[in-house]
Amino acid sequence: MGRRRKGIKIDGWLVIDKPLGKTSSNVVGKVKFLTKAQKVGHGGTLDPLASGILPIGLGEATKTMPYIVDASKEYEFTVEWGSATDSDDREGAVIHSGGHIPTEEDILAVLPSFTGTIEQIPPAYSAIKVDGQRAYKLARSGETVELKPRSVEIQSLTLVSHDAENKCSSFHVGCGKGTYIRSIGRDMALKLGTWAHVIVLRRTRVGPFGLEQAISLEKLEQLSHSAPAAEYIHPVVTALDDILVLAITETETKDIMYGRSIQCPKTKQGTFVLMAGETPVAIAEAEDGIIRPLRVFNM
Protein backbone atom coordinates (compact mmCIF):
# COMPACT_ATOMS: atom_id res chain seq x y z
CA MET A 1 0.00 0.00 0.00
CA GLY A 2 1.14 3.56 -0.74
CA ARG A 3 1.81 5.95 2.09
CA ARG A 4 -1.28 7.91 3.06
CA ARG A 5 -1.03 11.61 2.21
CA LYS A 6 -1.30 13.97 5.17
CA GLY A 7 -3.97 16.64 5.29
CA ILE A 8 -7.57 17.05 4.18
CA LYS A 9 -8.70 15.94 0.71
CA ILE A 10 -9.94 19.14 -0.94
CA ASP A 11 -10.40 19.30 -4.70
CA GLY A 12 -10.99 22.60 -6.48
CA TRP A 13 -9.71 26.09 -7.11
CA LEU A 14 -9.20 28.99 -4.72
CA VAL A 15 -8.74 32.37 -6.39
CA ILE A 16 -6.49 34.47 -4.18
CA ASP A 17 -6.12 38.24 -4.51
CA LYS A 18 -2.37 38.25 -3.88
CA PRO A 19 -1.12 41.23 -1.87
CA LEU A 20 1.99 43.21 -2.65
CA GLY A 21 5.25 41.97 -1.22
CA LYS A 22 4.46 38.26 -1.14
CA THR A 23 5.83 35.69 -3.57
CA SER A 24 3.53 33.16 -5.21
CA SER A 25 5.24 30.44 -3.16
CA ASN A 26 4.51 32.40 0.04
CA VAL A 27 0.82 32.40 -0.88
CA VAL A 28 0.79 28.66 -1.64
CA GLY A 29 2.36 27.97 1.76
CA LYS A 30 -0.19 30.15 3.54
CA VAL A 31 -3.13 28.53 1.73
CA LYS A 32 -1.83 25.06 2.55
CA PHE A 33 -1.47 26.03 6.21
CA LEU A 34 -4.96 27.54 6.42
CA THR A 35 -6.87 24.89 4.45
CA LYS A 36 -4.81 21.86 5.54
CA ALA A 37 -5.26 20.59 1.97
CA GLN A 38 -3.24 17.51 0.96
CA LYS A 39 -1.92 19.08 -2.23
CA VAL A 40 -1.62 22.75 -3.26
CA GLY A 41 -0.09 24.54 -6.26
CA HIS A 42 -0.41 27.87 -8.06
CA GLY A 43 -1.41 28.53 -11.65
CA GLY A 44 1.07 31.11 -12.93
CA THR A 45 3.67 33.05 -10.97
CA LEU A 46 2.98 36.65 -9.97
CA ASP A 47 5.89 38.93 -9.03
CA PRO A 48 6.18 40.07 -5.38
CA LEU A 49 5.69 43.68 -6.55
CA ALA A 50 2.48 42.72 -8.37
CA SER A 51 -0.93 42.13 -6.83
CA GLY A 52 -4.09 40.43 -8.03
CA ILE A 53 -5.35 37.11 -9.30
CA LEU A 54 -3.36 34.03 -8.29
CA PRO A 55 -5.34 30.82 -8.92
CA ILE A 56 -4.50 28.14 -6.35
CA GLY A 57 -5.20 24.51 -7.28
CA LEU A 58 -6.17 22.16 -4.47
CA GLY A 59 -5.96 18.37 -4.75
CA GLU A 60 -7.14 17.07 -8.14
CA ALA A 61 -7.32 20.62 -9.51
CA THR A 62 -3.52 20.59 -9.73
CA LYS A 63 -3.92 18.15 -12.64
CA THR A 64 -5.59 20.95 -14.63
CA MET A 65 -2.83 23.45 -13.85
CA PRO A 66 -1.38 23.59 -17.41
CA TYR A 67 -4.71 24.88 -18.73
CA ILE A 68 -4.63 27.80 -16.29
CA VAL A 69 -0.94 28.56 -16.86
CA ASP A 70 -1.63 28.73 -20.63
CA ALA A 71 -4.83 30.79 -20.28
CA SER A 72 -5.22 34.39 -21.41
CA LYS A 73 -4.64 37.01 -18.73
CA GLU A 74 -5.59 40.63 -18.06
CA TYR A 75 -3.58 43.26 -16.21
CA GLU A 76 -3.83 46.88 -15.12
CA PHE A 77 -0.49 48.63 -14.97
CA THR A 78 0.98 52.10 -14.52
CA VAL A 79 4.26 53.35 -15.95
CA GLU A 80 6.34 56.30 -14.82
CA TRP A 81 7.79 58.16 -17.79
CA GLY A 82 11.24 59.68 -18.03
CA SER A 83 13.36 57.09 -16.22
CA ALA A 84 14.32 53.45 -16.67
CA THR A 85 15.51 50.83 -14.19
CA ASP A 86 17.55 47.68 -14.66
CA SER A 87 14.52 45.56 -13.67
CA ASP A 88 11.96 47.58 -15.70
CA ASP A 89 9.98 48.15 -12.49
CA ARG A 90 10.36 50.24 -9.32
CA GLU A 91 12.42 47.56 -7.58
CA GLY A 92 15.51 48.10 -9.72
CA ALA A 93 18.26 50.69 -9.82
CA VAL A 94 17.76 53.71 -12.09
CA ILE A 95 19.89 53.36 -15.24
CA HIS A 96 18.44 56.24 -17.31
CA SER A 97 16.74 59.48 -16.31
CA GLY A 98 15.77 62.83 -17.78
CA GLY A 99 13.60 61.44 -20.56
CA HIS A 100 10.67 63.49 -21.83
CA ILE A 101 7.02 62.88 -20.91
CA PRO A 102 5.00 61.86 -23.99
CA THR A 103 1.63 63.42 -24.75
CA GLU A 104 -1.60 61.45 -24.61
CA GLU A 105 -1.86 61.71 -28.40
CA ASP A 106 1.63 60.26 -28.85
CA ILE A 107 0.85 57.35 -26.52
CA LEU A 108 -2.41 56.54 -28.32
CA ALA A 109 -0.56 56.60 -31.64
CA VAL A 110 1.88 53.80 -30.63
CA LEU A 111 -0.65 51.44 -29.01
CA PRO A 112 -1.61 49.67 -32.27
CA SER A 113 2.02 48.59 -32.78
CA PHE A 114 1.85 46.74 -29.44
CA THR A 115 -1.23 44.64 -30.24
CA GLY A 116 -1.47 41.34 -32.06
CA THR A 117 1.56 39.04 -32.24
CA ILE A 118 4.64 41.03 -31.28
CA GLU A 119 8.29 40.34 -30.55
CA GLN A 120 9.32 41.02 -26.97
CA ILE A 121 12.61 40.73 -25.07
CA PRO A 122 11.91 39.63 -21.47
CA PRO A 123 13.31 41.76 -18.63
CA ALA A 124 16.77 40.83 -17.36
CA TYR A 125 15.14 40.25 -13.98
CA SER A 126 12.93 37.37 -15.10
CA ALA A 127 12.66 33.66 -14.28
CA ILE A 128 13.83 32.55 -17.73
CA LYS A 129 16.77 30.17 -17.60
CA VAL A 130 20.09 31.14 -19.18
CA ASP A 131 22.66 28.32 -19.29
CA GLY A 132 20.72 26.52 -16.58
CA GLN A 133 20.39 29.50 -14.25
CA ARG A 134 17.53 31.93 -13.67
CA ALA A 135 18.09 35.25 -15.43
CA TYR A 136 17.25 37.28 -12.33
CA LYS A 137 19.92 35.47 -10.30
CA LEU A 138 22.54 36.26 -12.93
CA ALA A 139 21.41 39.88 -13.12
CA ARG A 140 21.53 40.31 -9.35
CA SER A 141 25.06 38.91 -9.28
CA GLY A 142 26.15 41.65 -11.68
CA GLU A 143 26.35 39.59 -14.86
CA THR A 144 25.09 40.96 -18.17
CA VAL A 145 22.04 38.98 -19.21
CA GLU A 146 21.18 38.76 -22.91
CA LEU A 147 17.77 37.28 -23.59
CA LYS A 148 16.40 36.42 -27.02
CA PRO A 149 13.20 38.00 -28.39
CA ARG A 150 10.08 35.87 -28.16
CA SER A 151 6.67 36.10 -29.80
CA VAL A 152 3.74 36.94 -27.53
CA GLU A 153 0.10 37.67 -28.20
CA ILE A 154 -1.38 41.01 -27.08
CA GLN A 155 -5.14 40.83 -27.51
CA SER A 156 -5.85 44.38 -26.36
CA LEU A 157 -3.94 47.37 -24.99
CA THR A 158 -5.80 50.51 -23.95
CA LEU A 159 -4.82 53.75 -22.27
CA VAL A 160 -6.91 54.19 -19.11
CA SER A 161 -5.50 57.53 -17.91
CA HIS A 162 -2.62 59.92 -18.54
CA ASP A 163 -1.22 62.30 -15.91
CA ALA A 164 1.54 64.39 -17.45
CA GLU A 165 2.01 66.41 -14.26
CA ASN A 166 2.88 63.27 -12.28
CA LYS A 167 4.72 61.70 -15.24
CA CYS A 168 2.61 58.54 -15.37
CA SER A 169 0.03 56.70 -17.45
CA SER A 170 -2.19 53.72 -16.67
CA PHE A 171 -3.15 50.93 -19.08
CA HIS A 172 -5.27 47.80 -19.37
CA VAL A 173 -3.91 44.83 -21.31
CA GLY A 174 -5.26 41.45 -22.33
CA CYS A 175 -2.56 39.01 -23.36
CA GLY A 176 -1.51 35.43 -23.94
CA LYS A 177 0.89 33.32 -21.92
CA GLY A 178 4.51 34.35 -21.51
CA THR A 179 3.88 38.09 -21.84
CA TYR A 180 5.98 40.42 -19.69
CA ILE A 181 4.09 43.60 -18.81
CA ARG A 182 7.32 45.29 -17.72
CA SER A 183 8.65 44.81 -21.25
CA ILE A 184 5.55 46.46 -22.72
CA GLY A 185 6.12 49.57 -20.60
CA ARG A 186 9.82 49.68 -21.46
CA ASP A 187 9.27 49.15 -25.19
CA MET A 188 6.46 51.70 -25.51
CA ALA A 189 8.77 54.30 -24.02
CA LEU A 190 11.62 53.40 -26.37
CA LYS A 191 9.29 53.73 -29.36
CA LEU A 192 8.33 57.17 -28.05
CA GLY A 193 11.98 58.18 -27.71
CA THR A 194 12.04 58.18 -23.93
CA TRP A 195 12.29 55.86 -20.94
CA ALA A 196 9.77 54.34 -18.53
CA HIS A 197 9.36 51.67 -15.89
CA VAL A 198 6.33 49.97 -14.34
CA ILE A 199 5.37 51.29 -10.90
CA VAL A 200 2.02 49.50 -10.42
CA LEU A 201 1.03 46.05 -11.71
CA ARG A 202 -2.20 44.22 -10.91
CA ARG A 203 -3.50 41.04 -12.54
CA THR A 204 -7.27 41.21 -12.88
CA ARG A 205 -8.04 37.96 -14.71
CA VAL A 206 -6.55 34.54 -15.42
CA GLY A 207 -8.67 32.46 -17.80
CA PRO A 208 -12.08 31.98 -16.16
CA PHE A 209 -11.00 33.56 -12.87
CA GLY A 210 -11.55 37.27 -12.18
CA LEU A 211 -11.44 39.63 -9.21
CA GLU A 212 -15.15 39.04 -8.58
CA GLN A 213 -14.30 35.47 -7.52
CA ALA A 214 -11.19 36.31 -5.52
CA ILE A 215 -10.64 36.14 -1.79
CA SER A 216 -7.88 37.83 0.20
CA LEU A 217 -5.51 35.88 2.45
CA GLU A 218 -6.89 37.86 5.40
CA LYS A 219 -10.45 36.79 4.57
CA LEU A 220 -9.36 33.19 4.12
CA GLU A 221 -7.67 33.29 7.51
CA GLN A 222 -10.83 34.66 9.12
CA LEU A 223 -12.92 31.91 7.57
CA SER A 224 -10.51 29.23 8.75
CA HIS A 225 -11.18 30.34 12.33
CA SER A 226 -14.96 30.48 12.03
CA ALA A 227 -16.79 29.14 8.96
CA PRO A 228 -15.54 26.88 6.16
CA ALA A 229 -14.24 28.53 2.99
CA ALA A 230 -16.11 25.99 0.83
CA GLU A 231 -18.17 28.70 -0.88
CA TYR A 232 -14.96 30.17 -2.32
CA ILE A 233 -13.69 26.87 -3.73
CA HIS A 234 -14.53 26.49 -7.42
CA PRO A 235 -14.97 23.09 -9.12
CA VAL A 236 -11.98 21.35 -10.68
CA VAL A 237 -13.53 21.63 -14.15
CA THR A 238 -13.71 25.44 -13.96
CA ALA A 239 -10.18 25.46 -15.39
CA LEU A 240 -11.44 23.39 -18.34
CA ASP A 241 -14.29 25.65 -19.48
CA ASP A 242 -12.94 25.86 -23.02
CA ILE A 243 -12.73 22.09 -23.47
CA LEU A 244 -15.63 20.03 -24.85
CA VAL A 245 -17.40 17.70 -22.41
CA LEU A 246 -18.18 14.05 -23.21
CA ALA A 247 -20.51 11.97 -21.05
CA ILE A 248 -19.43 8.36 -20.50
CA THR A 249 -21.12 5.30 -19.03
CA GLU A 250 -20.34 3.52 -15.78
CA THR A 251 -18.48 0.75 -17.63
CA GLU A 252 -16.47 3.28 -19.64
CA THR A 253 -15.68 5.16 -16.43
CA LYS A 254 -14.15 2.02 -14.90
CA ASP A 255 -12.00 1.48 -18.00
CA ILE A 256 -10.78 5.08 -17.96
CA MET A 257 -10.05 4.96 -14.22
CA TYR A 258 -7.76 1.99 -14.87
CA GLY A 259 -5.99 3.88 -17.65
CA ARG A 260 -7.61 1.93 -20.46
CA SER A 261 -8.78 3.48 -23.72
CA ILE A 262 -12.40 3.30 -24.80
CA GLN A 263 -14.00 3.24 -28.24
CA CYS A 264 -16.32 6.00 -29.41
CA PRO A 265 -16.46 5.96 -33.24
CA LYS A 266 -18.65 9.08 -33.59
CA THR A 267 -16.46 11.30 -31.42
CA LYS A 268 -14.52 14.03 -33.21
CA GLN A 269 -10.76 14.27 -32.84
CA GLY A 270 -9.53 16.49 -30.02
CA THR A 271 -9.30 16.95 -26.26
CA PHE A 272 -12.31 16.27 -24.03
CA VAL A 273 -13.33 16.34 -20.40
CA LEU A 274 -14.94 12.98 -19.64
CA MET A 275 -17.84 13.24 -17.19
CA ALA A 276 -19.80 10.58 -15.30
CA GLY A 277 -22.89 12.55 -14.40
CA GLU A 278 -21.60 15.62 -12.52
CA THR A 279 -18.23 14.04 -11.69
CA PRO A 280 -15.16 14.70 -13.85
CA VAL A 281 -13.39 11.44 -14.68
CA ALA A 282 -10.47 12.47 -16.88
CA ILE A 283 -9.00 14.74 -19.48
CA ALA A 284 -8.73 12.62 -22.60
CA GLU A 285 -7.61 12.71 -26.22
CA ALA A 286 -9.80 11.34 -29.02
CA GLU A 287 -8.31 10.13 -32.29
CA ASP A 288 -9.72 7.76 -34.92
CA GLY A 289 -12.63 6.81 -32.65
CA ILE A 290 -10.36 5.86 -29.73
CA ILE A 291 -10.43 7.91 -26.51
CA ARG A 292 -7.23 7.73 -24.49
CA PRO A 293 -7.04 9.17 -20.95
CA LEU A 294 -4.36 11.82 -20.39
CA ARG A 295 -5.07 12.86 -16.80
CA VAL A 296 -7.38 10.75 -14.62
CA PHE A 297 -9.11 12.38 -11.65
CA ASN A 298 -9.48 10.66 -8.29
CA MET A 299 -12.73 12.29 -7.26
This prediction has a pTM of 0.90
| Structural domains counted in the chain | 3
Looking at the fold, whether 36 and 81 belong to one and the same domain comes out as no
DSSP string, 241-290: TTSEEEE--HHHHHHHHTT--EE-TTPPSEEEEEEETTEEEEEEEEETTE
For residue 1, tell me if it sits in a domain. Answer: no
> If pLDDT is split at 50, 70 and 90, which confidence band does 278 have?
very high
Count other Cβ atoms within 10 Å, centred on residue 93.
Answer: 7
Looking at the fold, whether 147 and 201 belong to one and the same domain comes out as yes
124-179 tens-digit pLDDT = 666 666 556 665 565 565 666 677 888 999 999 999 999 999 999 999 999 999 99
Residues annotated catalytic, as ranges: 47
Domain enclosing residue 31, as ranges: 12-71+208-238
**For position 249, which CATH number holds?**
2.30.130.10
Looking at the fold, whether 49 and 128 belong to one and the same domain comes out as no
Looking at the fold, whether 94 and 159 belong to one and the same domain comes out as yes
For residue 6, tell me if it sits in a domain. Answer: no
**For position 49, which CATH number holds?**
3.30.2350.10
Reference 192, options 248, 108, 116, 130; nearest CA is: 108
* Average of per-residue pLDDT values in the chain: 90
Q: Alpha-carbon Rg of the chain, whole angstroms?
A: 22
35-54 tens-digit pLDDT = 999 999 988 888 888 999 99
Reference 63, options 36, 30, 38, 41; nearest CA is: 41
Looking at the fold, whether 170 and 24 belong to one and the same domain comes out as no
For residue 1, is pLDDT > 50?
no
Q: Are 188 and 78 in contact (CB under 8 A)?
A: no
